[in-house]
């Protein structure tokens, strides 16, 4: 299917369906200048993300882990939602039953105006206490003190899902239900390699949904989706609403 024809087809699908779900990954935020986890910009000092984003690393050296998150927060603070983020916020206003699921932790969907994104991997602007149930949002950059402390006197940790940790059960259940009930499922800027998120478009397809991929390059599910749109999401998504 030619690109113009494909975009027109997907535009019609968005207008014709009441239940739409969307999964976004690092690609949409990379267009805003957020470094990808594993890209060349992902290096910090001599550490790999996989060596810092773990409960073991935090237990061993919480100050080091917090320094890294403070650095990441400072980068994200300089970025803005791009036209792809804004188009999804607009889509939410237009579609009767819309669910946005994201693997990103940068909060750019919130800034763009998306009401209730399901954050599979947490939020870099949220912290939670290592002892009590306290959870808070803190957008201070840089953080002071570092590490940040809870009112109860215990240390706070980033409210991020680290390697070796389970995804938040409630959020995952909501994402699964949205995939199962969707009539149209868009998967945007994700490699479709990280499970369980990578399973969501296939769950939607098995349940009868049309699946549309928007990505810069082919992925593991390109051959299985109904329509694959290759290019920047910041250019393609606004066209789907035109």
Q: Which residues are catalytic?
A: 121
**97, β-bridge pairs:** 19
Measured CA to CA, the distance from residue 64 to residue 57 in angstroms comes to 8
Pairing relation of β-strands 227-230 and 210-215? parallel
> How many other C-beta atoms can be found within 10 angstroms of the C-beta atom of residue 48?
12
What is the Cα 191 distance to its own chain's centre? Answer: 12
- Of the candidates 206, 205, 207, 240, the one whose C-alpha atom is nearest the C-alpha of residue 225 is 205
Measured CA to CA, the distance from residue 238 to residue 91 in angstroms comes to 9
90 token code pair: 């607009």
> How many other C-beta atoms can be found within 10 angstroms of the C-beta atom of residue 96?
8
């Amino acid at each position: 299917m030619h690109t113009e024809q494909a975009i027109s087809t997907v535009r019609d699908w968005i207008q014709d369906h009441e239940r739409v779900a969307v999964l976004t990954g690092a690609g949409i935020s990379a267009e805003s200048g957020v470094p990808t986890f594993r890209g060349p910009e992902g290096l910090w000092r001599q550490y790999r993300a996989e060596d810092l984003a773990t409960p073991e690393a935090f237990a061993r050296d919480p100050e080091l882990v917090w320094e890294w998150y403070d650095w990441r927060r400072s980068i994200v603070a300089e970025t803005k939602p791009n036209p792809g983020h804004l188009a999804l916020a607009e889509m939410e206003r237009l579609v009767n039953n819309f669910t946005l699921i994201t693997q990103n932790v940068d909060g750019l969907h919130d800034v763009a105006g998306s009401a209730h994104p399901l954050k599979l991997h947490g939020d870099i602007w949220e912290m939670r206490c290592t002892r009590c149930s306290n959870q808070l949002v803190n957008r201070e950059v840089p953080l002071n003190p570092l590490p940040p402390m809870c009112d109860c006197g215990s240390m706070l940790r980033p409210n991020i899902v680290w390697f070796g940790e389970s995804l938040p059960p409630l959020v995952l259940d909501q994402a699964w239900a949205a995939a199962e009930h969707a009539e149209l499922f868009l998967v945007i800027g994700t490699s479709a390699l990280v499970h369980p998120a990578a399973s969501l478009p296939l769950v939607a397809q098995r349940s009868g949904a049309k699946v549309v991929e928007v990505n810069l390059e082919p992925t593991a599910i390109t051959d299985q989706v109904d329509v694959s749109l290759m290019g920047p999401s910041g250019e393609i998504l606004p066209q789907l609403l035109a």
